[in-house]
Structure 1
Amino acid sequence: MGSSTITPLQILKTYFGYDSFREGQEEIIDTILDGRDALAIMPTGAGKSLCYQVPALLLPGITLVVSPLISLMQDQVKSLNEAGIHAAYINSSLTEGQISKALSFAARGVYKIIYVAPERLETASFLAFALHTPISMVTVDEAHCISQWGQDFRPSYLKIVDFVRQLPGHPILSAFTATATEVVKNDIARILELKNPNIVITGFDRKNLYYRVEHLTGKQKDTFIANYIASHANESGIIYCATRKNVDTLYEQLLKQGVSVTRYHAGMNTEIRKESQDDFIYDRAQVVIATNAFGMGIDKSNVRFVIHYNMPQSIENYYQEAGRAGRDGEPAECILLFSPQDVMISKMLLGSKDFEGMDFAEMEQVRHQDAKRLQIMEGYCMTTSCLRNYILNYFGESTDQPCDNCGNCHQEFEELDMTQDAKWVIGCITEMRGRYGQALVIGTLLGSKRARLREIGADSYNCYGQLQSRTENDLRLLISQMIRQGYIVQTDGEYSVLKVGNISELQQKNTQILVKKFKEKEKISASKKRKNPYGKSYFEAENTAGNSNEATNTSSPNAAKKSALFETLRQLRLQIAKEESVPPYIVFTDKTLIDMCEKLPGTESEMLDVSGVGQNKLKKYGQRFLQEISSFLSNNN
């Protein structure tokens, strides 16, 4: 390490066990090794960490990685140590004595990579260490946290800039995130004072993820989840809820049904929360139900589904949370269970948002941004167009063709002419003088008997009950479309109201409002579309014609036996993980085990050809896996 004669590709193969770089990785690494600042926007699972870990081993001094969560640091450091790379973390989970010891080791050159919480940067002990230790690079992970216009702004991230200014020698600055709009991207580069940075955007498309939206009420959501988990036994998944109460209620329900489940939210004490997280990470629990406090920085690679019990507050949040599925690149599902009540919950949560460190003007700007994001998120839930394209377009990627890999693309629609209905909607908003929100407008048009409508006199309006032949969902689809077309304006804030927009086109004789609606039939389940990475069907679907081992090895098992071998190797991995006190995926990922089942290595040299097997892991675990494969082949002819 540190020698210029070693290439990045050799580092990648020796320590991480991969033969080639993924899209964007090599460009970022070369930028850093040329001494230039870099900003990378890459989707979850695209290998962002390798972009700074590989050059860190080639640069002469230490690389500091600023990271927002303890769990993220612990995961990364465990993975690096397993790969034979000395790394450490500095955060509040350590005692002052442990921190002093770690900094002492670092000053003596024991560690090449140190993960540090942003709050730690301004402490006297850490600053003294940094000022007297050669630091080649400062890496900012989850860099969107530095922008007030990002969905997860953390004031502590602003301390990074002051810290870097004090360092001698102008270390290289690199920044990484999975979620950044154009505004946030520019904000990151400006605030971090990146000098002539190479900005690499590899795209936001996660082709292995199948997106779906289901319109369900509370009880229907519970039934859906119970049935889904029952039909996806042994698959690891996350269920996100908007509130702690929802987490606790759903947890109790699934527990009674015999599901291997745990829970996670900020209302639990730290020790129990950590135990819950570990149960999920170490595969002791199949499913975790959590608020969005869970998961940032969790590298568990074999999450096969992420279900949102409630609508998140923004596309950024949804993309980040749903993106925790399928980090291994294998097919996974992202399902959002939507009901109109979700919008009210989100508005309530945004209304109690902490604006610490912001002046009045900044608070108003953030509130406006939050309200706009929420409307766009609601639009995702209501759209009948391609879900993947909706997400990509939001992040600035223009797409022409539907993806044919989402719930909407696999759904049939009927087209309703709702031109006259649209005029009644405008009439209702006019009668209400633009003082009320969507729920009251819809209730009035449907002729609802709600007390609130009687209070405001809506039951005497000319429009009252005029659209009672329509469903509530029909009118929500119509209003959502009218907002997008500018006929209606929805105001910001917790109590947004509907106002009449520019209706000149709607008043023209030939204007039509055509609304697409799902046909009432069973939706195609994504689970019928995707392969099970653990099952016989997966290995039957794999094209292994180019695999030299299988071309010559007459002992190669058929699909059913490969599936059985995978399960055998998975059990061995679990046993080793318990012995080493690390999560199973840190020993080897599912993708590595699948590659072993395909290549059937018989020697150490052949084991090094398996994706994800580096020199250190070969030394630690290689023989045990080789023996298991050999024994399995002998027992299964």
Structure 2
Amino acid sequence: MKMNDSWKPVIKSLGIEHLRRHQILPIQSVLNGYDTMVMAATGSGKSNMFCIPALLHRTKLTLVIEPTLSLLYSQVHELQVCGVAADYIDHYRTKKETEAILHKVRKAKLTFLYVTPERLQSEKFQQAIRQTGLYMLVVDECHCVTEWGYSFRESYLQIGTFIDCLPERPVIFACSATILEDREKEIAKLLHMRQPQLFQSDLKRKNLILLKKDVTSEKRSLDGRLADRFQALERCIRKYHGTGSVLIYALTTGCVDAIYNALSERYPGQVSRFHAKMKSDKLRHRMELDFLQGKTKIMVATSAFGMGIDVPNVELIIHFNMPISMTDYIQQIGRAGRNGQKAHCVLFFDQNGDDEKIAIVFQKKAKTDSPMAGKLLKANAQEMRRFAGSEDCMVREILRFQGQQEVKNCKCCTNCAKKRRGE
């Protein structure tokens, strides 16, 4: 399908050289007024699918719901650099700043407003949105509606109610790289989408080399086993880190701090960290921006960082601990190689049970809030352990989890390399 000529000025204003084929149909769907759900690979330009229709209706507001502040800041910054009238509201904004932004909303002086789902519960915010013409409501990373809505972020389950209270119904656009096949209809129902048009493109990322490393240690003490894991981490960095950026994920804030302190000695001035329990919000925000802007080359973080973040030159991702779910794993490796260059993703796993103990703590904590959440986390952890222990092609395993059948092996992952060597 060919691109409409009327789109060209908008595409140029966003600095896009050309649209990819899989982007055109969803854009046309939105412009035709259909609720639209898109499942496409990380780095495939999903944001352009809603930004282009929004800019073609720039006199009306497009409200974008993001799961994390990191993603919210990143998206707004990119739009503002292109001269687009975009802003955000978060809990760090002063009352005066928030009022000024809502005044812009009422006066139709914003094209994009970015918020987290919790903001939709504010009565003042609801009133301001009702007083403006809302063209589109976007739920970015919409897998969070079911992944998080039933556990620790119930506000995701209230988005549909918010939509129903608007004087005029906007077009609803939802997108993610990790919408499980059996969750599509449930997400659409919770968002009160009306006969949504569904689009799924090839989810394979050919430039990612998926590796896994068994870091099982014979040391009896936990400190000894962690020391061995730190050594494995440093070897990976030396082997795969060149001129690009490195993202290291750990499950606990304690692990993040320990890795940060160790790597800061080896790479002074080049390491940032990010987790929710950092004492200073300003320090966390500064370290985040330092990494996003390329001032530091290594980021150590919990899963609180990274979903949807677009740092083009991430060449190495290391999971110091096994992630709590396949969804987290897929989202996090999706930060690598967004410039199209080859990137390595290394998954650490152990048979000592150290990572499993951390997962059990998370499950127990979730269970106290919601039995369903605890059960979900347990099932997710089992799926992740199965993946780590599987001898099948890692790429095929991931695509199968996402509902895409792949016939060919990738020939590059750890499992494919072992079969090639006859191990």
State TM-score, norm by structure 2: 0.90
Instruction: Output one character per residue of 1:513-547: Cα deviation in whole Å (capped at 9) or x when no partner.
Output: xxxxx84xxxxxxxxxxxxxxxxxxxxxxxxxxxx
Q: Classify 1:355/1:295 alpha carbon distance in 2 versus 1 (closer, same or farther; 3 Å).
A: farther
- Are the counterparts in 2 of residues 144 and 150 from structure 1 also a CA contact under 8 Å? no
Identity %: 32
Q: Aligned residue for 2:382?
A: 375
Q: How big is the shift at 1:370? A: 2.5
What is the SS of the residue equivalent to 2:300?
Answer: strand
Quick one: distance in 2 between partners of 1:21 and 1:317? 28
User: Any residues of structure 2 matched to 1:476-491 within 5 Å, and which?
Assistant: none
Consecutive aligned runs of 4 or more in structure 1 exceeding 3 Å deviation: 148-153, 217-220, 365-369
Q: Aligned residue for 1:103?
A: 102
Instruction: Output one character per residue of 1:128-186: Cα deviation in whole Å (capped at 9) or x when no partner.
Output: 21111111111111211211588986211122111110112221111111211112222
Structure having the higher Rg = 1
Instruction: Output one character per residue of 1:363-407: Cα deviation in whole Å (capped at 9) or x when no partner.
Output: 2x4433332222221111111220100111111111222111312
Please say if 1:160 is aligned against 2:171.
no
Q: Classify 1:151/1:235 alpha carbon distance in 2 versus 1 (closer, same or farther; 3 Å).
A: farther
Amino acid at match of 1:229: I
Quick one: distance in 1 between partners of 2:207 and 2:152? 29
- Are the counterparts in 1 of residues 121 and 155 from structure 2 also a CA contact under 8 Å? no
Q: Aligned residue for 2:236?
A: 228
Q: Aligned residue for 1:268?
A: 278
Q: Aligned residue for 2:186?
A: 187
Q: Aligned residue for 1:146?
A: 145
Partner residue of 1:346 out of 359, 375, 380: 359
- Are the counterparts in 1 of residues 246 and 299 from structure 2 also a CA contact under 8 Å? yes
Q: Aligned residue for 1:323?
A: 334
- Are the counterparts in 2 of residues 9 and 20 from structure 1 also a CA contact under 8 Å? no
Partner residue of 2:346 out of 306, 327, 335: 335
- Are the counterparts in 2 of residues 266 and 293 from structure 1 also a CA contact under 8 Å? yes
State TM-score, norm by structure 1: 0.61
Quick one: distance in 2 between partners of 1:167 and 1:245? 44
Quick one: distance in 2 between partners of 1:376 and 1:118? 28
What is the SS of the residue equivalent to 2:137?
Answer: strand
> Comparing 182-191 with 217-226, which one deviates more in the overlay?
217-226
Please say if 1:282 is aligned against 2:280.
no
What is the SS of the residue equivalent to 2:75?
Answer: helix
Quick one: distance in 2 between partners of 1:380 and 1:67? 28
Amino acid at match of 1:50: N
Q: How big is the shift at 1:298? A: 2.2
Q: Aligned residue for 1:409?
A: 416
Amino acid at match of 2:330: Y
Amino acid at match of 1:316: T
Q: Classify 1:100/1:355 alpha carbon distance in 2 versus 1 (closer, same or farther; 3 Å).
A: farther
Q: How big is the shift at 1:293? A: 1.7
Quick one: distance in 1 between partners of 2:412 and 2:151? 29
- Are the counterparts in 1 of residues 215 and 349 from structure 2 also a CA contact under 8 Å? yes
Q: Aligned residue for 1:399?
A: 406
Q: Aligned residue for 1:567?
A: none
Quick one: distance in 1 between partners of 2:320 and 2:147? 27
Please say if 1:200 is aligned against 2:199.
yes
Q: Classify 1:327/1:154 alpha carbon distance in 2 versus 1 (closer, same or farther; 3 Å).
A: farther
Instruction: Output one character per residue of 1:102-127: Cα deviation in whole Å (capped at 9) or x when no partner.
Output: 12122222211111222222222211
Quick one: distance in 2 between partners of 1:153 and 1:32? 31
User: Any residues of structure 2 matched to 1:456-471 within 5 Å, and which?
Assistant: none
Q: Aligned residue for 1:557?
A: none
Q: How big is the shift at 1:207? A: 1.3
Q: Aligned residue for 2:222?
A: none
> Comparing 277-286 with 16-25, which one deviates more in the overlay?
16-25
Q: Classify 1:140/1:240 alpha carbon distance in 2 versus 1 (closer, same or farther; 3 Å).
A: same
Please say if 1:300 is aligned against 2:311.
yes
Q: How big is the shift at 1:71? A: 2.2
Q: Aligned residue for 1:47?
A: 45
Listed as ranges, the gaps of 5+ residues in structure 2 are 217-225
Quick one: distance in 1 between partners of 2:128 and 2:264? 49
Instruction: Output one character per residue of 1:286-327: Cα deviation in whole Å (capped at 9) or x when no partner.
Output: 111111122234222211111001111111110011111112
Q: Aligned residue for 1:210?
A: 209
- Are the counterparts in 1 of residues 55 and 111 from structure 2 also a CA contact under 8 Å? yes
Quick one: distance in 1 between partners of 2:152 and 2:201? 23
- Are the counterparts in 2 of residues 150 and 180 from structure 1 also a CA contact under 8 Å? no
Q: Aligned residue for 1:65?
A: 64
> Comparing 237-246 with 140-149, which one deviates more in the overlay?
140-149
Listed as ranges, the gaps of 5+ residues in structure 1 are 415-517, 520-637
Q: Aligned residue for 2:227?
A: 219
What is the SS of the residue equivalent to 2:80?
Answer: helix
Instruction: Output one character per residue of 1:5-30: Cα deviation in whole Å (capped at 9) or x when no partner.
Output: 96224421x21233422242111110
What is the SS of the residue equivalent to 2:155?
Answer: helix
Quick one: distance in 1 between partners of 2:300 and 2:100? 37
Q: Aligned residue for 2:221?
A: none
